[in-house]
């Protein structure tokens, strides 16, 4: 999961919060061409792409300084001295040479960023299952009109809106993704009509002049017709934009149907509804050997089984799966509560998913919907934009309604259920994959918490960063529960730069440690004013870290790229990288990511280490929500109680009450 962030901003946290997007559309009416698109932006979608600034390589001395600052709260004095010595030796020795080489390579590859290649490589070379380890989910809010949440109606509307989004994007009519610091000046028809005439190689500068920051959209083309293909050692990304069909999964079976006609138009919504109704009414029993479970396997195991599938005569069926626009998973289950929703959307039972598709829309029997996405091709930027647009379009301009009659068409001819030839080895592979899957997901616990005594508005009145306070509550909560300060990761997008990916904010600092100890272990020793001063210090420092990260001035990606360069050249890695402290700071016990959007109800992901927490959270106007996962090594229920208590204490102090 990644927040949407912009750059070049010195005043405030610059996290784009997935704001609702103003979109001009017309209703579908026969073959009215305008109805084929969600938007008709006067500024072409990729107008700013050529002139986006390049992701800067930080100065080595800045990276070492930031690295040591992040290590300080995690180490005792002796450990810190060792780490400091290693870091300084790296800075003056081998690190200096690697930095020069990284800069030279970057200079000769101006069409991309220094992190893009290594980051793709990291994701695609990982051999762990993508389930739990990489794929996150973001669930949709329900349609405000309850009758539109019926599974068939919602599925049809989401498919139609998704096709319209795809067509709008490919026609260059989707408005560019821009972070507006002064929307009254830059998010206007006047400015758009002016900037459209500025050549692409200069357009970014025109936006910058009015405090608007275009974001990288290079990942968007992988949204549709894309799949991660398992290969031994390193997977590949496959995209085939010629595909006009949708992949639908139900009861472990796979179906394909065209949702775009030969002329490139959206198939009539009533026909799509008819085809989906046909699939939902298929009485075929659940698949005995559901192929989808293989996509949750170890990547090398899956690669070997996929080769066997191809050899057994299934190449054409696999091509249809890989080239499908996206995957629609129709589940027969009804959700009992939001915890059930999180488990179902994050992993489900493994049978009714194709986790390798760039994204899947999952729809349960009671109309709960979510996106589960494969993470190697991109970050949350493109997916969240897609989700916001789809939610807005389906709720404001649905193309079918509860009273709509499905078209009287021959769905049996239009819908094809895929049949695969399976030998005993493949059947055993599927059986083993299902056992491995069940074993892995059985260890995962998810719990959620809502703090309703305050949120963004009150914190801003107190001149505190809402994100800083949420992160501080996690530090306090962990300290209260386990008596420690541990490695903490907060995702931050660097989409303000060409081919930017993410950077890490390191929320655990000497300031949060001091403040957490004061609140948790010495509540009576400090006055309200002293505690407020500590909160202010934490907020200020977190704001600085966030701005630096969004500007590509963190230390994590830089150190990663330098190590990648050394190993790719066969060099021995420096002692900085073999230092136990480096291993520990990259063993992120608290892995966190924030998301608030009018379209999104919940977001979540599994912990990134066996003894960690996966913390999805959102700070809303008057409440704060957390959706947290853990494995048996940690107690997620108690952690959330400790976080809630921490937030109570923080808000009490802000109200002028002393801690007892």
CA distance 414 to 405: 18
DSSP count for the chain of H helices, then E strands? 23, 20
CA–CA dist 437, 415 (Å, integer): 30
Task: State the Cα–Cα distance between residues 380 and 605, nearest whole angstrom.
Answer: 12
Residue 604 near residue 136, CB atoms below 8 Å = yes
Bridge partners, residue 140, by sequence:
600
Burial 241-275 (b: 16+ CB within 10 A, else e): eebbbbbbbbbbbbbbbbbbeeeeebbbbbbbbbb
Nearest CA to 607 out of 126, 71, 136 is that of 136
Q: How many CA atoms are closer than 13 Å to the CA of 174, on its beta-carbon side? A: 23
Q: Is the dihedral of CA 100, 79, 491, 139 positive or negative?
A: positive
Contacts with 156 (C-beta within 8 Å, 6 or more apart), sequence order: 269, 272, 273, 276, 399, 400
* Catalytic residue of the set 47, 245, 275, 375: 375
Residues 445, 308 contacting (CB under 8 angstroms): no
Q: Rounded to whole angstroms, how far apart are CA atoms 484 and 475?
A: 9
Copy the structure tokens of residue 23.
Answer: 């979109």
Beta-strand ranges (E) seen in 37-142 are 137-140
Q: Which residues neighbour 116 within 8 Å (Cβ) at sequence distance 6 or greater?
A: 499, 501
Q: At what angle do helices 510-520 and 466-482 cross, to 10 degrees?
A: 60
From CA 39, how far away is CA 180, in angstroms rounded? 19
User: Following DSSP, what letter does each residue of 590-656 receive, concatenated?
Assistant: EEEEE---TTEEEEE---SSTT-EEEEEEE-SS-EEEEEEE-TTS-HHHHHHHHHHHHHHHHHHHTT
Rounded distance, CA 280 to CA 371, Å? 20
Please identify which residue in the block is written with the tokens 């150190």.
559
Determine contact, residues 34/40, Cβ cutoff 8 Å: yes
138 phi and psi, to 5 degrees?
-135, 120
Q: Where are the beta strands (DSSP E) in 483-580?
A: 488-493, 502-505
Q: Which residues contact 147 (CB under 8 A, 6 or more apart)?
A: 153, 402
How many C-beta atoms lie closer than 10 Å to residue 69's C-beta?
A: 15
In the DSSP assignment, the letter for residue 454 is -
Residue 375 designated active-site = yes
Find the farthest-apart pair of alpha carbons in the chain and give their distance in angstroms, rounded: 77
Comparing CA positions, the residue from 584, 513, 515, 156 lying closest to residue 330 is 156
Catalytic positions: 375
């Amino acid at each position: 999961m990644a927040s949407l962030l912009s750059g070049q901003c010195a005043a405030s946290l610059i996290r784009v919060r997935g704001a609702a997007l103003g979109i001009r559309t017309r209703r579908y009416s026969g073959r009215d061409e305008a109805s084929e698109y969600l938007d008709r932006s006067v500024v072409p979608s990729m107008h700013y792409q050529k002139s986006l600034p390049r992701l800067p390589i930080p100065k080595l001395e800045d990276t070492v300084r930031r690295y040591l600052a992040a290590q300080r709260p995690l180490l005792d004095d002796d450990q810190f001295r060792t780490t400091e010595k290693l870091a300084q030796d790296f800075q003056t020795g081998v690190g200096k040479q690697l930095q020069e080489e990284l800069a030279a390579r970057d200079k000769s590859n101006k069409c991309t960023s220094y992190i893009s290649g290594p980051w793709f490589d990291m994701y695609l070379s990982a051999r762990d299952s993508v389930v739990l380890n990489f794929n996150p989910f973001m669930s949709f809010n329900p349609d405000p009109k309850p009758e539109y949440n019926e599974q068939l109606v919602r599925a049809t509307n989401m498919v139609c809106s998704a096709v319209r989004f795809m067509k709008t994007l490919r026609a260059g009519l989707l408005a560019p993704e821009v972070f507006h610091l002064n929307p009254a000046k830059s998010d206007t028809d006047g400015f758009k009509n002016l900037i459209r005439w500025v050549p692409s190689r200069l357009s970014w500068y025109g936006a910058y002049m009015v405090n608007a920051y275009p974001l990288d959209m290079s990942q968007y083309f992988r949204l549709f017709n894309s799949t991660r293909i398992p290969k031994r050692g390193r997977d590949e990304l496959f995209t085939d934009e010629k595909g006009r069909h949708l992949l639908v999964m139900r009861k472990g079976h796979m179906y394909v149907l065209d949702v775009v006609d030969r002329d490139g138009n959206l198939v009539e919504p009533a026909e799509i509804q008819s085809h989906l109704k046909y699939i939902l009414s298929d009485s075929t029993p659940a698949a005995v050997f559901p192929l989808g479970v293989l996509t949750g396997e170890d990547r090398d195991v899956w690669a070997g089984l996929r080769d066997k599938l191809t050899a057994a005569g299934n190449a054409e069926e696999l091509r249809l799966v890989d080239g499908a626009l996206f995957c629609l998973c129709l589940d027969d289950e009804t959700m009992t509560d939001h915890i059930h929703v999180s488990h179902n959307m994050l992993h489900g039972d493994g049978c009714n998913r194709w986790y390798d598709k760039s994204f899947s829309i999952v729809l349960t029997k009671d109309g709960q919907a979510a996106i589960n996405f494969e993470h190697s091709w991109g970050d949350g930027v493109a997916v969240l934009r897609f989700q916001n647009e789809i939610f807005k379009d389906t709720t404001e301009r649905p193309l079918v309604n509860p009273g709509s009659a499905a078209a009287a068409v021959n769905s049996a001819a239009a819908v094809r259920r895929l049949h695969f030839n399976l030998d005993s080895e493949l059947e055993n592979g599927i059986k083993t994959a299902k056992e491995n899957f069940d074993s892995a997901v059985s260890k995962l616990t998810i719990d959620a918490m809502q703090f309703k005594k305050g949120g963004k508005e009150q914190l801003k009145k107190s001149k505190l960063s809402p994100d800083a306070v949420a992160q501080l509550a996690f530090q306090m909560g962990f300290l209260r529960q386990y008596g420690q300060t541990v490695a903490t990761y907060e995702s931050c997008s660097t989409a303000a730069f060409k081919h930017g990916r993410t950077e890490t904010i390191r929320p655990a600092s000497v300031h949060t440690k001091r403040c957490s100890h004061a609140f948790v272990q010495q509540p009576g020793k400090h006055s309200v004013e002293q505690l407020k001063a500590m909160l202010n210090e934490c907020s200020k420092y977190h704001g600085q870290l966030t701005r630096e990260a969004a500007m590509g001035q963190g230390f994590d990606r830089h150190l990663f790229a330098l190590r990648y360069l050394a190993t790719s050249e066969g060099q021995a890695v420096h002692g900085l990288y073999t230092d136990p402290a480096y291993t520990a700071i990259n063993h992120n016990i608290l892995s966190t990511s924030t998301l608030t959007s009018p379209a999104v109800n919940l977001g979540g992901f599994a912990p990134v280490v066996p003894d960690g927490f996966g913390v999805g959270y959102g700070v809303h106007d008057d409440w704060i929500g957390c959706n947290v996962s853990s494995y048996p090594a940690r107690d997620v229920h108690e952690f959330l109680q400790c976080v809630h208590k921490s937030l109570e204490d923080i808000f009490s102090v802000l109200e002028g009450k002393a801690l007892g």
